[in-house]
Structure 1
Amino acid sequence: MSSNNPFGPFDFEQLRKMLEQLGLGDADQLNLEDLMTQVSKMSQSGLMFGMTNADKDPEAAWRTTLTAAKAIVAEGGDPALRADELSAVVDAERLAQSWLTPVTSFAETGRPARATTRSGWLDETGEGWRATIEPIIDGLADALERGTALEGDDELAPMAHMMAPMLRTSASLIYRDRLKRELAAVAGDVLTGTELGINLLGTSDVLLVPANVAELTRDLDAPETDVVLYLLLREAARQRLFHAVGWLSPQLSALLAHFSREITIDFDAIASQFRPEEMTGFSLEDVVKVGESVKGSFFRPTRTQAQVEILERLEVLLALVEGWVDHVVAQAAGPWMPHAAQLEEVMGRRRASASPVNTVFAELLGLDLRPRLVRDAKNLWAAVQHSRGQEGRDAVWGHPDLLPTSSDLGDPLAFAAGGLQDGPVEDDLDAELRRLLGE
């Protein structure tokens, strides 16, 4: 080995050990000095994998990802809004608000109702997605970089150090390729601004995507005008809730962020796809192929205790939101809309389906949120209203510690009869969420 190698000598067994730990191929056929020179050039190059300096800027990278998602949407068709669609949304939302006002103590938001295209929905929710997703990208990259650290092996540290930036950049590229496809799929499926159950809009506007509604109504035995009105009832109710309950959206975001910090990356599944001996001229397309070759998710299926608790909180909180919407909308639409029960059943089947709206968090966060609790939540809100009245039902949203738990969803009558708790009960997760929310 050349004496001018600044990293010191590696013997063959050490090299073999490192390659096996990184899943990087057969050491027998590699020249160590050539390999280190090659990896060093790749890790230091400003044009690694065809990336420019702009691509490495988070702002530019996000714009590029969103633009790529919109391009995929355009390929699948994204009809322009018609004047009659715009006016129909405004008129139907006015009627929906008049039906909602008598059945909830939460007031209108005062924000306008709007229609948008599929690409427009991506623009509207782009910053919300970014706030949710970028911590995942950073966590994925950090985990892969840590995976190359080879703790306790000082002899192998120089090579691991050189591999780390390469894998970090690769992780971001792989994930963003998957991200653009998932965002495009959701944009082609989502019906309203907050159908995901989380308000990514950053406003309280009531938003409808007519192109996707038209796809939904194609096989329904109900007038499209009824479907539009019913969806606007749901969206307006959900936005009233988010607007009136100031802690709700930040709590959901804090739970997602906390879950993200606990993610365990399947390092072996990704790192084993990279072969240093084949990396001369490695392109962006090659990196994307590596991502596509990783079976399933990047995330290990194992759950930490913290993740289990967060997942339960998220499931219950999202179920309470959707159950409240189901309950309130049923009351609002029942006296006026003959197809209300049928449309509620359609929404229930949609929640239970494997549509992009329902699978996006599993694909992007490894977070499998199931809709099984929504019906229980609807029954609970009905029981609370029966016991405490409409004002008492909505007052339960006054503080997160006063909300029903998963066990309460299994026994709604007991919760409804129990009244409000004497005071908040806080555990370690509550304390952490308060810290995240700056309380």
Structure 2
Amino acid sequence: MTSLGGVEMVDWNLAVATATRLVRPGPEVSRDEAREVVAELRRHAKLSEEHVRSFTRLEPTRVDDASPTFGGETPPPVLVVDRAGWVKANVAGFRELLSPLLGKMRERRAGMPGGAVLGAVGGKVTGVEVGMLLSFLASRVLGQYETFAPATRELPAAADGGGRLLLVAPNIVHVERELDVAPHDFRLWVCLHEETHRTQFTAVPWLRDHIRGEIQSFLQETDVDPSTLLERLREAAQSLTGARPAGEEGEEASDRSFVELVQTPAQREILNRLTAVMSLLEGHADYVMDGVGPEVVPTVAEIREKFQKRRASGAGRLDQALRKLLGLDAKLRQYRDGERFVRAVVDEVGMDGFNRVWTSPNTLPTKAEISKPADWIARVHRKAG
């Protein structure tokens, strides 16, 4: 793969090919059953729109209106995909988000002896590594609001250039069978969660660009010097094995993922802000899913109990190790801590009071406020305590 700037740092085509070759096969279903699952997920996604909007009091915005409660625009498309489809959508998103960092690395390598050859080889190695990561994740994701990838014929998106709701049918069927829950109820329950994410982004027009900006800032802080990166990798390995350098015993290093441990201090500050907003988004989706659930999902209590146990336990030692390595345990904490934040704020100031969180980036909770909702209420609502 080549580009105008030279050899690509990641062979994205190889990443897709590797992931689709390695990803586990989905559950066995007949052709008729597969069609029925796809049709039902589309119906549930459509049904979820009204439930979520009514509960959250958020409506999609029009291009010419910045209010998070103004309706009118056609929502981004819902795509029911298999595991390979999820991989393709996420590779497109990664390619878009990582382009500034990869360009920076390409420029650095261009000045090195044999840089073009190293780039070609390195791009294929990295492509395989990305593909292996995606093959692991592709069998675990139930749904996703994919925000950044450009629209294509195969993966259409919203008219403004971003946004599509992905529902991964084989994974949903796999989990509903594993949990032994009512398929109709579980599929609607999943759609309520994912529709909440779609509503968050379509009702809050600045949110997508804000998150993109934070991610780009994070990537711009990445030091691409190989010796510096190797030193961080060495320190990360010591921390993960308990052999931390002197003076770090009191830190939370043992609780950090490998991804967190190779970051610079500036990146950790950005990550704290991203962690807070992702905790808000995930916790809000869980809160809405459970709030709407009792009215439309008869077995919601059983589903929630079984799903929480599955979410917390992981599938085995390898799965738990990879979750730690990739920071997926932190994502599980985001669901829990974010839901507690949303619940506490709504209980105190009501849904309209909570929705002030969507006013601007300045009204988003900080990482500390996620753990102390009263501090956010005091800051945003100008209340004591």
Same fold (TM > 0.5): yes
Alpha-carbon distance in structure 2 between the residues aligned to 1:300 and 1:404: 21
Q: Does 1:334 align with 2:294?
A: yes
Q: Does 1:162 align with 2:122?
A: no
Q: Does 1:193 align with 2:153?
A: no
2:131 maps to a residue whose letter is K
1:119 maps to a residue whose letter is A
How do residues 270-419 of structure 1 correspond to structure 2 at under 5 angstroms? 301-348=261-308, 352=312, 369-416=330-377, 418-419=379-380
1:113/1:301 CA distance change after superposition, 3 Å = closer
Instruction: Pick the aligned partner of 2:12 from 62, 66, 71.
Output: 62
What is the aligned length? 328
1:52/1:330 CA distance change after superposition, 3 Å = closer
Secondary structure at 1:107's aligned position in 2? coil
| 1:60-110: CA deviation from partner (whole Å, max 9, x where unpaired) | 94334334433444x745977832122211222233234323211112653
1:99/1:77 CA distance change after superposition, 3 Å = closer
1:374 maps to a residue whose letter is Y
In structure 2, the partner of 1:245 is: 204
Alpha-carbon distance in structure 2 between the residues aligned to 1:245 and 1:357: 35
1:167 maps to a residue whose letter is L
| 1:365-402: CA deviation from partner (whole Å, max 9, x where unpaired) | x9985432432322222232233322222231110111
1:402/1:162 CA distance change after superposition, 3 Å = same
The answer (yes or no) to whether the contact 2:26–2:174 under 8 Å persists in 1 is no
The answer (yes or no) to whether the contact 2:259–2:325 under 8 Å persists in 1 is no
1:350/1:260 CA distance change after superposition, 3 Å = farther
In structure 1, the partner of 2:94 is: 129
Gaps of 5+ in 1: 1-50, 150-160, 272-296, 423-439
1:301 maps to a residue whose letter is L
Alpha-carbon distance in structure 1 between the residues aligned to 2:91 and 2:122: 21
Q: CA deviation at 1:235?
A: 0.7
Q: Does 1:95 align with 2:54?
A: no
1:341/1:367 CA distance change after superposition, 3 Å = closer
Alpha-carbon distance in structure 2 between the residues aligned to 1:253 and 1:330: 29
Identity rate, percent: 25
In structure 1, the partner of 2:238 is: none
Secondary structure at 2:166's aligned position in 1? strand
| 1:311-338: CA deviation from partner (whole Å, max 9, x where unpaired) | 1111111101001111111111123324
2:55 maps to a residue whose letter is V
1:59/1:88 CA distance change after superposition, 3 Å = farther
In structure 2, the partner of 1:263 is: 222
RMSD: 4.1
2:381 maps to a residue whose letter is L
Alpha-carbon distance in structure 2 between the residues aligned to 1:352 and 1:247: 33
Alpha-carbon distance in structure 2 between the residues aligned to 1:298 and 1:380: 27
Larger of the two Rg values belongs to structure? 1
In structure 2, the partner of 1:117 is: 82
